[in-house]
Amino acid sequence: MKNYSEQIRTTPVASGGHSQTTVTSGNSDLKIKSEKVYDTSSSQDLFSGVSAGDVILMSGWDYSENNRVFVITDVESGGYWIKVDKQLINEGSAPGSITIEESPESLAVSGITTFDVVVNVVNANSTTSSAEEADAGKVRVTAAGIVSSFIVADTGDDLRVTWANLSAG
């Protein structure tokens, strides 16, 4: 008989006090078509500063599937579009306020694999001595032993990462 409780793991990880870089904020000149995110502004070069392999967080789209952490897999040479590693839902035009962030904090989580999923994060804030649930949609396993986090945390904050060990069941 399989013990399903072995699938859930919680690991404390000390934050280095990282905050991400904003690629764009409040942008309405974007669209998603054929698995790519396009810059529809007159310059069409929004993505010229990012590269394949960069980890980004998109938010503000109508479809929740487009509002999560992605790894960029391809960038048009002039920065007109990007392609990411997860499926996107077509959105003909931005609903008016799209934000894309890059440069997440890399959290070392022993034993986690790319087949596992982060299901919850609690930030035990070292400054205020309080704990609050963070948005688990702002984190993703991006490599074995690495969770990329867009949660804004102070140096020394204890992030309690709860993850489902999908390889165990």
Confidence of residue 1 (pLDDT cuts 50, 70, 90): very low
CA dihedral 109, 9, 139, 70 (to 10 degrees): 90
Whole-prediction pTM: 0.88
DSSP 41-98: SSS--GGGG--TT-EEEEE--SSGGGSSEEEEEEE-TTSSEEEESS----BSS--S-E
* Amino acid of residue 36: K
pLDDT tens digits, one per residue of 26-72: 999 999 999 999 999 999 999 999 999 999 999 999 999 999 999 99
Give the span between the Cα atoms of 162 and 165, in whole angstroms. 10
**Residue 164: other Cβ atoms inside 10 A:** 17
Asked whether the beta carbons of 39 and 76 are under 8 A apart, the reply is no
Assigned architecture for domain 21-102 = Beta Barrel (2.40)
At residue 168, what are phi and psi to the nearest 5 degrees? -85, -5
What DSSP state is assigned to residue 115? T
State both tokens at 140: 């993703």
pLDDT tens digits, one per residue of 117-168: 999 999 988 777 778 888 888 999 999 999 999 988 888 889 999 998 776 6
